[in-house]
């Protein structure tokens, strides 16, 4: 399992989750990214990030709302193909 960051993070990015993650598995690359992404291969499912998020963007994988299911794959994909995920985020929520 993993935790997943979803659409409400877009353009918020306050990084509260980063401060509480014990394994440093939540990343972005500055202005290139409009949201943050959890590395599913590093996340230890501790749940610390979920309540830290001021916009309720973080869910356990099993609890991701149906309307946000795509973000489970997008979090993982960002660690393989950042450009594709950035383009998809821009399509989901035009700047």
Q: In this chain, which of 4, 7, 26, 72 binds ligand SF4, going by CB under 6 A? A: 26
- Residue 3 contacts ligand SF4 per CB under 6 A: yes
Q: Is 46 in the site for ligand SF4 (CB under 6 A)?
A: yes
Q: Going by C-beta distance under 8 Å and a sequence separation of 6 or more, which residues neighbour residue 17?
A: 5, 26, 36, 49, 52, 53, 58
Half-sphere exposure for 25 (CA within 13 Å, toward CB): 20
Closest approach, Cβ 39 to ligand SF4, in A, equals 8
**Is residue 51 within the footprint of ligand SF4 (CB under 6 A)?**
no
Q: How many CB atoms lie within 10 A of CB 62?
A: 8
Nearer to ligand SF4, 58 or 85 (CB): 58
Min CB(22)–ligand SF4 separation in Å: 6
* Three-state DSSP state, 24: coil
């Amino acid at each position: 399992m993993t935790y997943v960051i979803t659409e409400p993070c877009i353009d918020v990015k306050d990084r509260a989750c980063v401060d509480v993650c014990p394994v440093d598995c939540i990343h972005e690359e500055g202005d290139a990214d409009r949201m943050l992404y959890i590395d599913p291969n590093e996340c230890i499912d501790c749940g610390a990030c979920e309540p830290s998020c001021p916009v309720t963007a973080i869910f356990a994988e099993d609890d991701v709302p149906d309307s946000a299911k795509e973000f489970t794959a997008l979090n993982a994909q960002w660690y393989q193909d950042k450009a594709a995920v950035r383009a998809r985020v821009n399509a989901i929520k035009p700047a």
